[in-house]
Amino acid sequence: MRPDPTAGAGLPGPAIPPGTGVGGRAGRSAGSLAGKAVVVTGAGRGLGAAYARLAAAEGASVVVNDVDIDAAAEVAASIGAVCDDSDIGTWAGAGRVVEACRSAFGRIDGLVNNAAVFRLASPYQQDPDEFRKVVEVNLLGTAYCGLHAIRAMRDQAGGGSIVNVTSGSHAGSAAMAAYGASKGGVASLTYCWAADLAGTAVRVNAVSPNAHTRMADAFERYLGDRAAGQNVGKDPSTNAPAVVYLLSDTAAGISGQVVRIDGDELSLMTHPGVAAPAVRIPAWTVAAVASAFESDLAHRQQPLGVHPTNA
């Protein structure tokens, strides 16, 4: 299935063979990613392009994947990368982009799961096909690429690093149920894979970026004043150093984390947890639950959206 190119996704068609039009430069010897081979999905523009450019500048050999093959080719040509337009929204397509990296460079050391589509709608107007499309690309595409990459990294010396891309919208944001649900799933994938791979040489983290992109423009247009101009003036490139760090060996002890970048702020997102203290009684009845809410829990309801904590 082919995602909407207007959302900046990286997805369909057969891979462009390495060396066709744009070729990767392997064996770069300078920078924090020197000698590493990295795939960035959705890298034809915006955040994905910023990640690919800095990864290449830091020494990585890069596969630039995007549904818009012209945009992907332009980015790839500018950094000496391999261009790929595999459909990461399918199991076979996700396998092709991972194999394109291994074919070009002999291995895959890093995967940045950036490809996504974006739709805004109220629950009264949400189109079910659009909802399915968002989940298939954003969540299943991330899962498929990650599963292929994990299996390849497990079987090679040195392991590897996966960086998923989630969003603060999964904590609750108006008109973003489909997108937020898909990105909440990406956060859960990150936690679960990190638990699965604990003690191995494969690490899994995620970033929650903030930038002024076409998605931000659509959000501003849809919500108007309610959008609060939250990403105005935030260049996509400001998010790239955190991604490159997580791909690098310097981050060898970091796994299972969601790193939030917001302009001049760098922070960790808290994992889902239990708001203490719990209310305890020997046996719960409907009346007892109602009493617990009336006397305590109703006054401690958790806020929607992203909020600072002391964790």
| CA–CA separation, 179 and 305 (whole Å) | 14
Angstrom distances, CA of residue 142 to CA of 93, 117, 253, 286 = 12, 12, 23, 41
Question: One of 51, 124, 144, 179 is an active-site residue; which one?
Answer: 179
- Strands 110-113, 160-165: pairing is parallel
| CA–CA separation, 163 and 206 (whole Å) | 5
Q: Catalytic residue at 179?
A: yes
H or E stretch including 142? Answer: helix 141-154
| CA–CA separation, 227 and 219 (whole Å) | 7
Edge-to-edge strand list for the sheet holding 110-113: 82-84, 61-65, 37-41, 110-113, 160-165, 202-208, 258-262, 265-268
Residue recorded with tokens 């261009």:
83
| CA–CA separation, 58 and 243 (whole Å) | 12
User: Where in 61-159 does DSSP place strands (E)?
Assistant: 61-65, 82-84, 110-113
156 and 208 Cβ atoms separated by less than 8 Å: no
Q: What is the DSSP string of 70-91?
A: HHHHHHHHHHT-EEE---TTSH
User: So which residues are the catalytic ones?
Assistant: 179
